[in-house]
Amino acid sequence: MDCQNEKRGNPIGTPHILNAAEAAAQPFPLSISFNYENLFKIQRVRNPFVLAPVSYSSLASYLECPWCVVSQKRKKRSKEPTQVPPMRQGALFGGGQPDPRMVGTLLHTIVNLLHDDKGPLTPDKRARLLTDSDALGRFLRQELLVALQKAGKINLAIFFNEFNFHPEILHNTITTPILRYQRELVATRTTIFTGAERFQCKVLSTKNTFAGHPDWGGYVCLIGEFDQIRLRNGTNAKNGTPAIIEFKKGLGGKKPTPPPMQGLFAELEAAPVEENVVVEPTSAHAMQLLTYWLAFQTRWSIREQFVEVKGVLQEIPMSLQQPMELILYNLNDGCQYQLVPRDHQEALVALTECIFLLNWAMKSGYAWQSPEHTCKRAQLTELPAHAIQVQVGNETVTGQECYLLAKASFERFKSTIQWKKLTH
Ligand SMILES: [Zn+2]
C-alpha cells in the first residue's frame, strides 16, 4: 500500500449508517473529508453557525426567484395558537375542499407521529398502529386530535377538527392515504431508520469542481431536514439499503379551481375528480433529493477506516455509485418515483456547482425578480446589474453573472434527470 492510500484509507464498501446522535457522538476529528473522486468533498460539521450556513430550501427558492428570498429575509413566522378554539362549522373548508397544502402537512405530520420516539405516542402504541390497520383507523378517528394537540400542532388540530363534519372527506383524504402508507411498510418489510431529522454538512470544492477555473474554491455549509430515511431489507449492505424519502402531497400540478359555493362539499363527496392526471415530479424535486444524497454522506460510519489507519486520516475516498435510493413519495395517491440520473457524476457535479453559485449570488444580495412570479417589488430598490460584485475564487463577477452561471449549472443538472415510477 503506498503512502497516499494509507493516508486516505480504504473506500467504504458495505457501509454502516449512523443516526444523527451517533454521527454527532463519533469521536473522530470533524475535519476528515469524504473525497468523491476528486470532484468535490464533504465534511461533517458540528457547529455550522460559524460557517454562515444556508438552508437547502432558501437556495432552491433563490433559484426560482432571487427577489423573494432576499426581500423576505426578515419575515417572522406566525405563532402557533395555544389551544383549539370552539368550532365554526365550514369556516376552514369554505371553498368546498380542504386546502391541499394543509392536507399534505397533516398527512406528513401523522406519518411523523407514527415514528417519532420523542412524540406523544408510546413505543407500544406506535408499534401497534404500524401493524394493525383497524387500530390505526380507530386512532385516526378518535385519538388523532388529542395527539396533535399534545405534539403542539395546534393549527393542524384546528384544521383536523373540521373533518368531524365531513366523514367522507376524512376517509378519502386522510384515512385512506395513511392506511396505504402503513400497509406498504408492512408488505415490503421496510424499516424506518429516521424521520424528520435535521442535517448539516459542508460541501467543499476541489480544483475539479469548476472546470477551467482552478481557483474557484470555498465551501457551502448546508442545513436542512430529511423527511424520512428507510432501510430496505434483503440487500448486501450491513443494515439494509438506505432510501431517502421525500413526501409530497401534490407534485406541483395546477391548483384545482374552487367549486361554486353552494352546497359545501357536495361535489367533492359525490365523486373524486381529475384522478387520471399523471403529474411527474419536477426538476426542483430532483434537486432536493440529490442535495439530500450529499447530506446523507455524513452518516456513513468511518470507524473501520479510522481504526485501520490508527487515526491518521485526512480524506476517505468515496464512490459516487452507492447503494442508495432517492424517492419522492406522493402521500396523496401512494405513488413513488425514484430518481435515477442518466449520468450520476454529471448530475452531482452540476448540482454542486449550482449550489456554490447560488450561495455566492444570494449572499451578494443580488435580487432579480422572476417574471413568472407575482411577488410585489418596489421599483426604487432596483440596483444596476453591475453594482453587485461577487467574489468567486480569485475572480470577481457581477451578481447577475453569478446567478446566470447557477442557472446554467441547473440546466446541465436538469438534462440528467430521469424518474422511475415504482410499483409495489
Ligand atoms: Zn418572487
pLDDT at residue 263, as a whole number: 43
**For residue 257, pLDDT beyond 60:** no
**For residue 262, pLDDT beyond 60:** no
Distance between Cα 240 and ligand 1 center (Å): 42
In 3D, which of 185, 187, 160 has the Cα closest to residue 173? 160
Lowest mean pLDDT of 112-126, 146-160, 167-181, 369-383, name the range: 369-383
Distance between Cα 61 and ligand 1 center (Å): 9
Distance between Cα 44 and ligand 1 center (Å): 33
Under DSSP, is residue 196 helix (H, G, I), strand (E, B) or coil?
Answer: strand
Distance between Cα 66 and ligand 1 center (Å): 7
% of the chain residues with pLDDT over 70: 81
If one counts every other C-beta atom within 10 angstroms of the C-beta of residue 342, the result is 10
DSSP letter at 75 equals P
Q: What phi and psi values does residue 286 have, to the nearest 5 degrees?
A: -65, -40
In 3D, which of 184, 177, 194 has the Cα closest to residue 130? 184
Distance between Cα 388 and ligand 1 center (Å): 19
Chain mean pLDDT for the chain: 83
Distance between Cα 246 and ligand 1 center (Å): 24
Cell of 361: 449570488
Distance between Cα 69 and ligand 1 center (Å): 8
User: Could you tell me the pLDDT band of residue 259, with boundaries at 50, 70 and 90?
Assistant: very low
Question: pLDDT tens digits, residue range 313-352?
Answer: 789 999 999 889 999 999 988 999 999 999 999 999 999 9
Measured CA to CA, the distance from residue 137 to residue 171 in angstroms comes to: 9
If one counts every other C-beta atom within 10 angstroms of the C-beta of residue 105, the result is 17
Cell of 347: 448530475
Which contiguous run of DSSP H or E holds residue 359? helix 344-364
- Please work out, in degrees rounded to the nearest 5, the angle formed at the alpha carbon of residue 77 by the alpha carbons of 74 and 79: 145
Distance between Cα 326 and ligand 1 center (Å): 29
**For residue 303, pLDDT beyond 60:** yes
Ion ligand 1 neighbours (CB, 5 A) are 65, 67-68, 373, 375
Distance between Cα 144 and ligand 1 center (Å): 37
pTM (predicted TM-score): 0.85
pLDDT at residue 224, as a whole number: 95
Distance between Cα 196 and ligand 1 center (Å): 28
pLDDT at residue 379, as a whole number: 57
Question: pLDDT tens digits, residue range 115-152?
Answer: 999 999 999 999 999 999 999 999 999 999 999 999 99
pLDDT at residue 313, as a whole number: 77
Cell of 358: 447560488
